[in-house]
Amino acid sequence: MSLIWRRLQLEWPAWLAVAFVALLPVRRAAEAPLSILALALPFVLRNPAHRHRLRELAPLVIPLFLCFWIPMLASSFDSYLPDKSWEKTLAALRFPMAALTLGILLQTASLRWLVLRWCAYVLVFWAADGFFQLVVGFDVFGVQMHPDRLNALFVTKYQFYGPVLAMLSPLMLEYARRRWPAWAWVLAFSMVLGAVMISGMRAGWLAMFMVLATYMLLMLRHENRELRRASFAIPALALTVLAASYAISPIFQERIARTLAITQATEAALNEASSLRVPIFRHALDMYRAHPVNGVGVRAFEEAYLEFAEPGDAHLANARVDSEGRTRHGATHAHNVVLEVMADTGTIGLVGLLAGFVIGYRRWRAQTPAQRQDAFPYVLALALILFPLNSHFAIYGAYTSSLIWFLVGLWAATWRRPAMDDDEGA
């Protein structure tokens, strides 16, 4: 019993990180482990060694957070929904606290491998669960397939299943690449790829295509020579998975047909192919033009949309009442990270976004090759979430923000001052 207690004292932050990923399908349950990590920071800093580590991590985490938070603060003063904007701005202070706790307590390589290993198991299970649901109509826990999309454990939040699986797939793929046999890596890759395809969410498709392209390039590197032969099977397996997914999934067939409508090169066809998002994109730009300095306010897009939408707008016509009794419209956010930042936080937010990318890139380049290898799955996952040419969930929403800062925390765990040697290896 004492051995278990000692292990728990050492490993508890790693298990909270795993719990965060495992709880992502369950509404906002993932907020619990993230909040525990944030609240733990003052207690963690009672240790002088941890305070020293905090000073080491500050150049990475604090500037990135300020690029994110200052625009939120500036947008709240004259927001269309001031109460909500201020609530989101103040609540966001938990994100750097959680990220710093992860960066401090997971600096040991063995703990980071523990996180990657169990995240890999969780993601493979999600993929297998999706196939099971597609075949029998419900998942292994009895969750019925949503009428619109494959949902697996994500229940009513079906839109998160494919994209989240794709965006977090680098955690599984990097662990499999470095710890599993070549055949297991290829099998896991194919399973996740297929699950993302049959989920029917095109944001997940694009993210998975980027992952596929990245790993095909990685196979050209010398250290991956043992996987190189197996990697030749990936294009064939990808085509097989795509063909099989198309054959067995009506959802996949419908999404392909809708996507191909873009070839008609008309605004109506583009609107159909983008799931009626052309008006949202256009009005996001209108909001930016009308409020160019600090936007309409963080998470106030839906309220501002009422002012900018034309009569008969489809998103106003599709109003619904959510589980909390609020009337919600289809246009709750801009569905693109750049447009959301411009609309919600204006030029201040756009400058913050660009500065964040520059700072992140410079911090990445400042790491040694060994450190970059350790940081690679987290940085790639961040790039997938923030890729500006994809469709996005609400970046300022709790779900996506939590995911971003969780990954920043894992990246921080690999961070060392550039002048210091990486004495842990990988």
Q: Please say whether the beta carbons of 251 and 149 come within 8 A.
A: yes
pTM of the model: 0.89
- Which helix (H) or strand (E) element contains residue 320? strand 320-321
Q: Please say whether the beta carbons of 231 and 189 come within 8 A.
A: no
Supply the angle between the helices 301-308 and 337-366 in degrees, to the nearest 10.
Answer: 140
Q: Is 391 helix (H, G, I), strand (E, B) or coil?
A: coil
Q: Is 138 helix (H, G, I), strand (E, B) or coil?
A: strand
Q: How far is CA 123 from the centre of its chain?
A: 13
Q: Which residues have C-beta within 8 Å of that of residue 116, sequence separation ≥ 6?
A: 171, 174, 175, 377
Burial class (CB in 10 A: 0-12, 13-18, 19+), 243: exposed
pLDDT score recorded for residue 202: 82
pLDDT score recorded for residue 423: 40
Q: Please say whether the beta carbons of 96 and 62 come within 8 A.
A: yes
Q: Say which residue the tokens 């990245």 belong to.
A: 214
pLDDT score recorded for residue 325: 55
pLDDT score recorded for residue 425: 36
pLDDT score recorded for residue 236: 72
Q: Which residues have C-beta within 8 Å of that of residue 338, sequence separation ≥ 6?
A: 350, 353, 388
pLDDT score recorded for residue 37: 96
Q: Give the residues across from 327 on adjacent strands.
A: 321
Per-residue pLDDT of the chain (426 residues; tens, 9 = 90+): 667 777 777 889 999 999 999 999 987 899 999 999 999 999 999 999 999 999 999 999 999 999 999 999 999 999 999 999 999 999 999 999 999 999 999 999 999 999 999 999 999 999 999 888 888 888 888 888 887 778 888 888 888 999 999 999 999 999 998 888 888 888 888 889 888 988 878 888 899 989 988 887 777 776 666 666 666 666 677 677 777 767 776 766 666 666 555 555 444 444 444 456 788 898 999 999 999 999 999 999 988 988 888 877 776 766 655 555 555 665 788 889 999 999 999 999 999 999 999 999 999 999 998 899 899 999 999 999 999 988 888 899 999 999 999 999 999 999 987 654 444 333
pLDDT score recorded for residue 273: 43
